[in-house]
Amino acid sequence: MRALFDLVGGPASAIRTTGARWTGLLVVSIDGTYLDVPDDPATRARLGKTSNQYAASGYPQILLVALVACGTRAVIDAVLGPRTRGETSYGKRLARSLQALMIVLLDRGSSSNTFLETVAGTGAAFLGRLSAARKPPVLRRLPDGSFLSRIGTLEVRIIECEITIATTAGRTTGVYRPATTLLDHRRRPAFELVKLYHERREVESAYFAIRKSMPGRRVLRARTMAGIAQEVYALLTFYQLIRIAITDAIPDADPDRAGFSIALQTARDQVIQATGVIAGTVIDLASAIGRAVLDRAMPARRLRLSPRATKHPLSRYAYKSLRVDRRTYKATFSIDILLTKPISP
């Protein structure tokens, strides 16, 4: 299954695919997610379980780290293993699939010097958010509000920007500091880079489809590490085929408007109905998926106005004991960006 995924893995986009590239660079992101596996003695011994001050709980989990094309949400490459090693450890193995004419979007957890140097060493550019604890030197201020600096052995450009989050629960403003190896402020202004960084969230849509839409929110079935790897790569292969079918069938439309659930159900119907599987006929799977998603195309993406909690909600008891209003608690973890403004020099 891994060899099969290696055959179909890729950005699944053409030069004209809407939203796949930015100023000539293929927009990709590296991020990780966790998949629940059966609570079996063999998996517990190899993967362990999450624990708190009282006891271990939940299912053992496998860590999946993928390189995803943000425009099409297709998976270019992926690695998996026990969660004890961390995302950046697996992420370095994905450097094998990075190349020039790519820009890699990274979160704060992937902003270490060694990881950024690994990414830059492939010839790809990166745009990653720095943690608040880092204090890079200001070497030279640029007209667009960004400044040149150095991280480890890399010369970078850092953008300090104010992000205003506005939802039905209120407004709040914070400071973000993305760093990039794209040093030309004329060709790639700070404001455009900050807007581009929001595309990193597209990887979450890919993971939702892989973890929730296709398995139906069920735990993986395999009970050995080899079986788990086989099952995960099978999911990735099937997911990738659906993404390829979508982008091949609607090359002139934005892939964001193609509903993955619609495409998934159409693919299942093709298999169940055994349409076009007789030898000597043409299998029209991609066109069938294309017609289905175009007939029920999603509207253009709108800005989110409601707060979204990024952590599991508290129980009613926790709300009462902490005396925290639910509306206020949600707003604390809202990450929906409506306004972005670079700070003036």
Q: Are strands 337-342 and 161-167 parallel, antiparallel or unpaired?
A: antiparallel
pTM above 0.95, yes or no: no
Whether the per-residue pLDDT at 345 is higher than 70: the answer is: no
Mean pLDDT for 22-38 is 94
Whether the per-residue pLDDT at 271 is higher than 90: the answer is: no
**Average pLDDT of every residue of the chain:** 82
The pLDDT-based confidence of 164 (bands split at 50, 70, 90) is confident
Mean pLDDT for 182-186 is 95
pLDDT at 56: 66
pLDDT at 294: 74
Q: Which residues pair with 81 in a beta bridge?
A: 63
The pLDDT-based confidence of 316 (bands split at 50, 70, 90) is very low
Percent of the chain with pLDDT over 70: 81
Residues 332, 113, 341, 100, Cα dihedral to 10°? -120
DSSP summary character for residue 297: P
* DSSP H or E segment with residue 113: helix 113-120
pLDDT at 34: 93
Whether the per-residue pLDDT at 166 is higher than 70: the answer is: yes
Most confident of 10-19, 39-48, 229-238, 294-303: 229-238
The pLDDT-based confidence of 232 (bands split at 50, 70, 90) is very high
Task: Render the burial of 263-298: b for 16+ CB within 10 Å, e for the rest.
Answer: bbebbeebeeeeeeeeeeeeeebbebbbebbeeebe
DSSP summary character for residue 20: S
Contacts of 116 (CB under 8 A, 6+ apart): 106, 110, 126, 128, 151, 152, 154, 179
